[in-house]
Structure formats: C-alpha cells, structure tokens
Amino acid sequence: MTSPVAPFPAARLRRLRKSPALRAMVRETTLAPADFIWPVFVMEGCDAEEPIPSMPGVSRLTVDRIAAAAREAHGLGIPAICIFPYTPLAQRTEDCAMAWSMDNIANQAIRAVKDAVPGMAVMTDIALDPYNASGQDGFVADGEIVNDRTVDALVKMALAQATSGADILGPSDMMDGRIGAIRQALESEGHQWVTILSYSAKYASAFYGPFRDAVGASAALKGDKSTYQMDPANADEALRLVARDLAEGADMVMVKPGMPYLDICRRVKDSFGVPTFAYQVSGEYAMLRAAAGNGWLDGDKTMLESLLAFKRAGCDGILTYFAPAAARLLAT
C-alpha cells in the first residue's frame, strides 16, 4: 500500500493528531465490551472463592458465584463467558470418565449460567486435561498421546456440553480430526445450531503456566504438550490448521497465545476472512498484572493498549481475564 503523501511541508502528518476530536475522527480501530470473551474458573462447593496467586485479581468461583459473575459481566456488555473446571483430584483418572459426565463441574456451571442469564453465550473447553491423571489433553498409552481414541472421548465431551446448553464449543486439544468428528456428532444429535470456535493455532507455550496453577494441572502434568500443540517457530503451519478446521466445520478460529502471536492473527484474518479470536493467556495477564502491581507499568493503560492491539491485528474478539475490568474502564 502506498500512501498518497505529498512531501513536506504540504504533508504535516501531525495535523491529524492535533486534537482529541481529530484523533477520534481518524481512529482506525476501536475496542468495546462486545469484543471480549471472559474465561472463568469454576470449582466445587457453594458461595465460595479461592484466589489464584499467579493471577492477581482472578479467583476460582463456585457454581453459584459463576452465575452471579456472569450476570454482572452481561450487564457490562460482555457477550460470552468461557468455563474452565478445577477438578477434584479424585476425578482425574486414566480413563478420564468425568470429562463427559453431565454432572461434572463444568457442565453444572453451563446450566447455571444459562438459567441465570439466558442471553449470555456460554463457551466451553474441550480437552481431557482437567480429568486426566497425566494432565495431558489426550489419553496416554506407552508414553504417547493417542489421537483417534481421544477424538472419540472429545465427541462425548462435546455432546454433554451441548446438551447442558453450551452455545460455543472450544476444542483446545489439538488432536487431528476432532473438529469434523464433533461437527458430525452435533449434526446427528440435534445440536446443529451449536457453534465451534476451534483453537486452531494453539502453540506449545510457556505462557500457560498460571492457567495450569488455576486448574490444578501444574503438578499433575507429566511431560510436555509438544507432540500436539504447535511449535512456536511456525507460522505457515497455522494457516494449514485453520484451513483444515474450517473445512471440517469450525465456525470461528482462535490463535493462542495472543500478544506474542499477533503476526499469526494478522495472517489468519487476511488469508481467510473468518471470525478470528485470540486468547490473551494467563501468562500474558500475569506479566501485565505483576508489572502494574510493582508500579512499573500503568495497569489500566497497558490493559487497554494490549487489547486494542488484538483488534488492530485483525482479531474480531479476545478471550481475556481482563474482560470485566476492561469493560468497566470502557464504560467510563
């Protein structure tokens, strides 16, 4: 793109930055509460919460408190909430059977939010890790992550979530073939209006550390996830994954983590023009909060700037733990 800019002094690009009014007129990107999906952590019990030390300002909430939090978020204009379970140790087994139980804590939370705030879209996470003794996203056999048998389990998990009332399913497991299998099952079981937001370009990232604390998976995880999550060195591969997931029936796609991967967001949006989301993950949140907590950065300004950057990079929305705080700031 060449800019029709005459040489100085005819062109004074500072003219358009002269006043708030002029800056508002030529602003290319905007940020609004409707851009956010709010990830929350649900735990067993009632009327209680537990702060997560590596994520200042974020707590695990009991189901009743999740419903109340969803109502508040909805009031702030946030359209969707994404539920992650903190599973009791006894429910983390080798066969991962709790993953597709209608009574697991995540499915309880889906029903509670849909009851309390029917207008709020509820998103889920599909992967076996919260229910797996090994902390891996798939079944483990002979030290390897088994693909196809895991996909069968993910399909059962998806159906339990859809039956519980989920609006948006988020397969985050990175197994091959899972989007097609889930889409087919949704179609044949009467859930044809349930959308899939695929974690298509999910990297094997060290930025997930605080999340694994939040869901109690840090100690459990044996080995790493690099045989299924992407190599942070790759970009073309992200486009292959997005193309594949769209062909298999994904409605929307995600890039994860967010800030270090804005180049991927831009390439995905430019290549496919489909609804593209980024996940500003737990480590990104922790970094900004830690720096702000120490007085090294302005917390509010860096929060909004980081979120605006996703929009500028082509994202339609952002999964962010900042959602309620950012929505409150945007309202003032």
The residues annotated with a catalytic role in the active site are 202, 256
Residues 256-285 that bind ligand PBG (CB under 6 A): 281-282
The one among 58, 127, 241, 315 contacting ligand PBG by CB under 6 A: 127
Task: Tell the smallest beta-carbon distance from residue 150 to ligand PBG (Å).
Answer: 12
Residue placing its CB nearer to ligand PBG in the complex, 3 or 99: 99
Dig out the tokens for 312 from the structure: 């500028």
Say if CB 174 and CB 1 are below 8 A apart: no
CA distance 223 to 225: 7
110 phi and psi, to 5 degrees?
A: -55, -50
Which residues 171-200 are close enough to bind ligand PBG by CB under 6 A? 172
Total residues found in the chain within this entry: 332
Least distance to ligand PBG from the beta carbon of 314, Å? 21
For ligand PBG (CB under 6 A), the number of binding residues is 11
Name the residue nearer to ligand PBG (CB basis): 189 or 213.
213
Phi-psi region of 174 (alpha: psi -120 to 50; beta: other; left: phi over 0): left
The single residue among 211, 228, 277, 322 that binds ligand PBG, judged by CB under 6 A, is 211
Instruction: Tell me which stretch binds ligand PBG (CB under 6 A): 19-27, 87-95, 207-215, 305-313.
Output: 207-215
Interacting residues of 78 by C-beta distance below 8 A, sequence separation 6+: 33, 34, 36, 37, 38, 120, 323, 324, 327
Specify the amino acid at residue 25: M
Provide, rounded to whole angstroms, the least separation between the CB of residue 172 and ligand PBG. Answer: 4
Site stretch for ligand PBG (CB under 6 A), options 44-52, 71-79, 123-131, 264-272: 123-131
| Contact status: 35 vs ligand PBG (CB under 6 A) | no
Q: Whole-angstrom Cα distance, residue 199 to residue 116? A: 27
Q: Contact between 203 and ligand PBG (CB under 6 A)?
A: no
Instruction: Tell how strand 252-256 and strand 121-123 pair up.
Output: unpaired
Q: Which of 31, 83, 137, 164 binds ligand PBG (CB under 6 A)?
A: 137
Pick the piece of the chain touching ligand PBG (CB under 6 A) from 26-34, 176-184, 188-196, 208-216. 208-216
**CA 235 from chain center: how many Å?**
19
Q: Which is nearer to ligand PBG, 10 or 124 (by Cβ)?
A: 124
Q: How is the chain split among helix, strand and coil, in percent rounded to 5?
A: 45, 15, 40
Beta carbon nearer to ligand PBG, 16 or 87? 87
Question: At CA 214, angle to CA 137 and CA 73, rounded to 5?
Answer: 105
Question: Which residue is it, tokens 């009851």?
Answer: 115
Which residues bind to ligand PBG, rule: CB under 6 A?
A: 125, 127, 129, 137, 172, 208, 211-212, 225, 281-282
